Amino acid sequence: MAANLSRNGPALQEAYGLVVDEKSPTDWALFTYEGNSNDIRVAGTGEGGLEELVEELNSGKVMYAFCRVKDPNSGLPKFVLINWTGEGVNDVRKGACANHVSTMANFLKGAHVTINARAEEDVEPECIMEKVAKASGANYSFHRESGRFQDIGPQAPVGSVYQKTNAMSEIKRVGKDSFWAKAEKEEENRRLEEKRRAEEEQRRLEQERRERELQEAARREQHYQEQQSRTCEQSQEVASRNREEWESTGLQAAHPREIFKQKERAMSTTSMPSVQPDVCEEPAPSSPPCPVQAEEEAEYEEPPPQEALYEEPPLVEQQGANSQHIDHYMQGQGLGGQGLCARALYDYQAADDTEISFDPENLITGIEVIDEGWWRGFGPDGHFGMFPANYVELIE
C-alpha cells in the first residue's frame, strides 16, 4: 500500500519548507511512520546540520531525512535525501517500505544527492560531503581562483537545479491518496453491512423455524386430543351397541335383571313359614282331596334348598331356557362360584338400586357370574349389585 502523506500533510509541508528556505535556520528534517501504519509523520527538525541529523537516526525504524548543506566547491546550498532503513527492521516491513522511496522522493523534491543507508558507516558526514562535492560537477571553488578573472567583469550567478515546490500538484497527489483511503473505508463498511444483514437473515429464519415447530406441535396435540375423543366415543358406541345387541338377541329372551329380580322373589317366597301341610296332614279316606288343597300341597311340598337357590329358580318356561343357557356359559368358561375379582375398564353408572357404579381402574370383588352379559358383586362403595360383564376384566 502507498505511503499516506495526507494525514499529516500540513506538518510535512511546513518541515519541508523550513529546510528549503535559505533564510530559515532549520537545515534538516526527519520523517518516519506512525507505528506500523503507512502514515508519514515528522520525527524531528534541527539546525545542527549532518552531525545532529545522524544522531537522530534509529536502527529499528525506516526513516527519511532531508538536509541542507553547503557545497564545499561552490559554497552554494545543496540538498541531501537519506533513505534510512535500520538493521533492526524486519524483512516484511523492509519490503513494504521499499515501494515508498519514490513517493518520498517526489515529495522531497530538489535533492542533489540521494543516499540509501542501513548503518552508521553509510551516513558519516565526511562521506556525505564527498558525495555532494562530486555531484556538483566541479572540483574547484571559484572563491579561491586567481585574480586574473576579476578583470573580466561581474560573474554570473552559478546555476542550480532547485525547483520551487508546486503546492497545488502536491495537494492533488495527496488528494488521490485520500480518495483511495476513503474507497477502502467504504468497502470495509459495505462488508460489515453485508455481514450484519446476513446475521439478521439468519436470526429471522431461526425464528420462523421455531414458530413452525410450535405450530406443528400444537397441531399434533390437537390431532391427538381429537383422536382420543373419537376413541372414547367409539368405545361408548361399542358398549351401547353391545348392550343393545345383548338385549335384543334371541338367545336371551328375558333381561338378566328380571331374572335376578325373579330369583330374589323366589328366595323370599321360600323363606316364608308354611303351615298348610299341618292343616291337611291326613285327608279323610272317604272324601278325595280338594283341588285347592292339592295345589297347595304341590306348591309347598318341597321347598328348594338354599345352595341351589340361584341354580334352579322357579321360572316360567321361558325363564328355564335362560337358566340353562347361563349354566352352559358358566361351565364352558369355568367361571362358576364366588370370590372372583375384576378391574373396571370403563365407567358405569347404576340405573337403579340393583346395580352398582364404578370408575375405570376400580376393583369389583366377590363377583358371581349369574349370566353371560351381567354379573354381580361388591362395588368400590361396598354396595352389592349387578353390572355389565363387558365393562370389566377378570384379575387372575
Q: What is the full DSSP assignment across 314-366?
A: ---HHHHHHHHHHHHHHHHHT--SS-EEEEESS-B--SSTTB--B-TT-EEEE
Q: What is the mean pLDDT of residues 291-316?
A: 44
pLDDT in tens, 194-208: 999 999 999 999 999
What does the alpha-carbon distance between residue 269 and residue 303 come to, in Å, rounded to a whole number?
A: 9
User: What are 220's three cell numbers?
Assistant: 399434533
pLDDT at site 288: 43
| Eight-state DSSP code of residue 294 | H
Nearest Cα residue to 348 out of 379, 311, 369: 379
Return the pLDDT at 247.
Answer: 73
* Candidate ranges 24-38, 274-288, 319-333; pick with highest mean pLDDT: 24-38
**pTM of structure:** 0.37
Q: Is the pLDDT of residue 75 over 70?
A: yes
Q: What is the pLDDT of residues 109-149, one digit of tens each?
A: 888 888 888 888 888 888 888 888 888 765 544 444 444 44
What's residue 275's pLDDT? Answer: 40
> Looking at residues 299-310, what average pLDDT do you find?
46
Q: Per-residue confidence at 91, pLDDT binned at 50, 70, 90?
A: confident
What separation in angstroms does the CA of 333 have from each of 203, 204, 255, 326? 68, 67, 21, 11
Query: From CA 44, how far away is CA 308, in angstroms rounded?
Result: 132
CB 37 within 8 A of CB 50: no
Task: List, as own/partner pairs, every contact residues 329-334 make where C-beta atoms lie below 8 angstroms and the sequence separation is at least 24, other chains included.
Answer: 329/369, 329/371, 329/372, 330/369, 333/369
What's the mean pLDDT when you consider all of the chain? 76
Main-chain dihedrals φ then ψ at residue 65, nearest 5 degrees = -115, 140
What per-residue confidence (pLDDT) applies to 358?
94
Q: What are phi and psi of 99, to 5 degrees?
A: -80, -10
Cα–Cα distance list, 147 to 142, 143, 144, 150, 151 (Å): 10, 10, 9, 5, 8
- ∠299-301-305 over CA atoms, to 5°? 100
Which range, 52-66, 145-159, 269-283, is most confident?
52-66
pLDDT of residue 244: 82
Write down the pLDDT at residue 263.
Answer: 65
* pLDDT band, very low/low/confident/very high, at 355 (cuts 50, 70, 90): very high
Q: Tell me if 289 sits within 8 A of 280, measured CB to CB.
A: yes
Task: Give the residue from 85, 69, 72 showing the smallest Cα distance to 22.
Answer: 69
Q: What confidence category does residue 336 fall into, taking pLDDT thresholds of 50, 70 and 90?
A: very low
- Number of C-alpha atoms within 13 angstroms, CB side, residue 31? 30
Distance of alpha carbon 213 from alpha carbon 216, whole angstroms:
5
